[in-house]
Structure 1
Amino acid sequence: MTPHSDVLIVGAGPAGLSLAIALAQAGFAATVVEQQPADVLADPPPDGREIALIHPSRATLQRLGSWALLADTEIGTIGQAQVHDGPLDRHSALQLSPPRGAAAGDALGFIVPNHALRRSAYAVAARTPGVRILAGMQVTRVAANGAQTELDCVPALDGTSTPQRLHAPLLVAADSRFSPARRQLGIGAQMTDFGRTVIVCRMRHTLPHGGVAHECFGYERTLAVLPLPGDAEGGHPLCSVVVTAGAGDAATLMALGAEAFAAQVQAQLQHRLGPMALVGDRFAYPLVAVYAQRFAGHRCALLGDAAVGMHPVTAHGYNLGLAGVERLTAALASARQRGQDIGSADALAPYAREHHRHAWPLYQGTNAIVRLYTDARPLPRVLRQLVLQGARRLPPLQSAIVGQLTGEPPPWMRALALRP
């Protein structure tokens, strides 16, 4: 069988498209198969999600060429983060700033709308030699147990067509945390359903945010407020609001009118940003974290949310995806240089091992934070206060928390990265 490309990628999200670009830049040919049509990929609608990016992620996007296609009004900067437990008192809040040694004026991270990341990734991938995008195609079968992988797909709007069969030495599943391709490859996943829903939206406010992000842990709801660039039309300050609540409470919040919803957010934020108003729509997403049992096998690998689907409280989902892009591309380039079959388990093992060592402490640390800060019982309430107050006084603990946010845990946390 003559391969159609070196790598078949299922899923044209930002991670899958970024991998295709990186592979093409490294001299590989990649074919991306995606169910959404090309016009939606080229101009995706807003979905309410604002993605926090760490510095290594920005560097990756700059190298791939997609960062340059983002408008200035689409890039927000997080200069500082404040973590509150209960009432918003700046004297008791944990203040998180860029680590020591950072350049003057450096930031904790950046905020970019998810639809802008999708748009820019598609724009670069569509014009990159060596990248082929099959849009509007539904994957019906994948198999990775022979000399090459096989992928069958049909037009998404016409399931009765004769399947088109593609072959390649390697197949990468990058098709969401509920990945059908991962299941067909026989790879299971550990799933944690938090029984909660996240509501995301944009809000306009009257007082400047100063580039400060707030994480407010209430006993019933968690509120995150992320600084965004000002309104392009009126110059009004804007922020991204992320409310996490139980399913019933979330349904009630979604049913509120725009003014009533804004009043609820404004009250939990204790009017820190002055009067607030909803901008655009609200979007609700169920919270389920996912960690695949393995990240690679014979002729197959997992990337992005198909490998690790994170709870958004530490904002590492897409950052892990981009880190995976770098590691998988490097592993394949190294295998090719050594004359290895890029789809062999031996060639893919370094990617799986290193990505696990990076992702596992972040995943477990994030889930531990979620469990601690969503438990309203008296003992967890005391423990979370001790954690915050201890972090204010103990630099190693604070460095661990900053490491969770920046994606660079200190060495002692990395040493705890044991295979689940």
Structure 2
Amino acid sequence: MRKVDVLVVGAGPAGLSLARSLAGSGLSLALVEPQSAAALAEPAFDGREIALTHASRQILQAMGMWQCIDPAEISPLRSARVMNGSSPFALGFAAERENVDELGWLVPNHLIRKAAWEVVQGQQGLELLDGTSVTAIETGTAGNTVTLGDGRRLQARLVVSADSRFSSTRRMMGIGAQMRDFGKSMLVCRLQCERPHHHEAWEWFGYGRTLAMLPLPRNQASAVITLPPQQVQALMAMDAAQFGAAVTGFFERRLGEMVPAGTRHVYPLVGVYARRFVGPRHALVGDAAVGMHPVTAHGFNFGLQSQQRLADLVTAAAQRGGDIGEADLLGRYERSHRLATRPLYEATNAIATLYNDSRLPARLLRGAALRAAHGLVPFRKMIAGHLTQRLA
């Protein structure tokens, strides 16, 4: 049975980023992924646009990933508005008020995945085990033994789950998760806008649906439409002209006519928070630890932070000749990541619950809450600061 120092399950952005962050640590790494290497090298467009904070951009730059992304596909986010129903009032954020050029950046998810794959190519000490999956994990004092679908067995001093919010290895390790199924589906699609969007993002909580508009290059926008699954399927069944007219109507022609400029994609809305982030010689990163509702656009940012926190602790332990899978080290990772994510996870779920409730009492509370947030300058500064804060 072959031995490695770290075995990472899942070659998505979180798993690949962790592998990259451990480069130069002197540790041997194995990366297990059901997809083929060819599919990882050329990820398909999936409709999702990722909002990156200043801190996340720093992490990507340090790993060399940011430099792999075509600048023409990166869209600066200069302002944002949060709107409620038919009210003309909006909660606003602007880069100029924070003395920065951008609040953040929007980058296509498939290009982030491609960049993550590119930066690990040729990395010393890293082996990709593609086209297979983990079928069992046995814990041990010196290491955990992992069995793969093709029969191979490996022992690792540390096993890391980075295999999505529906992580099978999290379940194998007996770690439960708090799951919040919102009963809605999210449809995403790129559209060409008739009027300029001025690089402003919108979050529009209507009655019966939630809309988001994310500004993209070439005056395109990503429309994010949250509706009950049956209504989403009706939109998916429309031809391009019908769909464009429907979305133009949803946004009340505020950007003029909106014409589809890409394929449509649908995702279920399910929030996940693991009851534990660690186990015996085991840790969770990315969505396996925290799978966010997209309303606050922090899911990927949390994923980047999780792998960075774990990588820093593991690298430091390796450099001093310590045990990279010891309980104390993993406990420090869990405490730091829980402290950084739990408040916003709960706040996000509360916002999503309130602003998807169209009953009259909720409508009144929705408007009052938005006005209260607008009046609290420290609150608005806190939100903007979270986007623009840089790493120390």
What's 2:60 paired with? Answer: 61
TM-score w.r.t. the length of structure 2 is 0.95
Matched, 1:206 2:169: no
**CA distance 1:101–1:210, change in 2 (3 Å):** closer
Instruction: Name the aligned partner's letter for residue 178 of structure 1.
Output: F
RMSD: 1.7
Distance 1:376 1:85 in 2: 11
CA offsets per residue over residues 166-194 of structure 1, 9 Å max, x none? Answer: 11100000001010010001111010000
What does the per-residue CA deviation read over 1:123-177, in whole Å, with 9 as the maximum and x for residues that have no partner? 11122222221111122222234421111213xxxxxx5x111111000000010
Among 147, 154, 158, which residue is 1:170 paired with? 158
User: Does structure 2 conserve the Cα–Cα contact (< 8 Å) formed by 1:216 and 1:223?
Assistant: yes
Highest relative contact order (Cα 8 Å, sep 6+), 1 or 2? 2
Alignment correspondent of 1:216: 204
> What pairs up with 1:1-150 in 2 under 5 angstroms?
3=3, 5-87=4-86, 89=88, 92-98=89-95, 102-103=99-100, 105=101, 107-150=102-145
Structure 1 residues 313 and 359: CA distance shift in structure 2, 3 A? same
TM-score norm. by structure 1 comes to 0.89
**How many residues are matched?**
389
* Structure 1 position 192 matched with structure 2 position 180: yes
Q: Which amino acid in structure 2 is aligned with residue 357 of structure 1?
A: L
Give the Å deviation of 1:97.
2.0
Evaluate the alpha carbon distance shift between residue 88 and residue 277 of structure 1 in structure 2; reply closer, same or farther with a 3 A threshold: farther
Contact 2:173-2:279 at 8 Å conserved across structures: no
Check 1:131–1:36 CA distance in 2 against 1; reply closer, same or farther (3 A cut). Answer: same
Contact preservation (8 Å) 1:220, 1:245: yes
- Partners of 1:226 and 1:282 lie apart in 2 by 15
- 1:12-411 superposed matches below 5 A: 12-87=11-86, 89=88, 92-98=89-95, 102-103=99-100, 105=101, 107-154=102-149, 161=150, 163-230=151-218, 237-402=219-384, 406=387
Letter in 1 for 2:81: Q
CA–CA distance in 2 between the matches of 1:110 and 1:101? Answer: 15
What's the offset of the Cα at 1:399?
2.9
Return the letter of the residue paired with 1:9: V
Structure 1 unpaired stretches of 5+: 155-160, 231-236, 409-420
What is the aligned-residue identity percentage?
47
Q: Which runs of 5+ in 2 are unaligned?
A: none
**Helix, strand or coil for the counterpart of 2:197?**
coil
CA distance in 2, matches of 1:202, 1:335: 45
CA distance in 1, matches of 2:129, 2:111: 21
4+ long deviations beyond 6 Å = none
Give distance in 2, aligned partners of 1:314 and 1:113: 17
SS at match of 2:120: helix
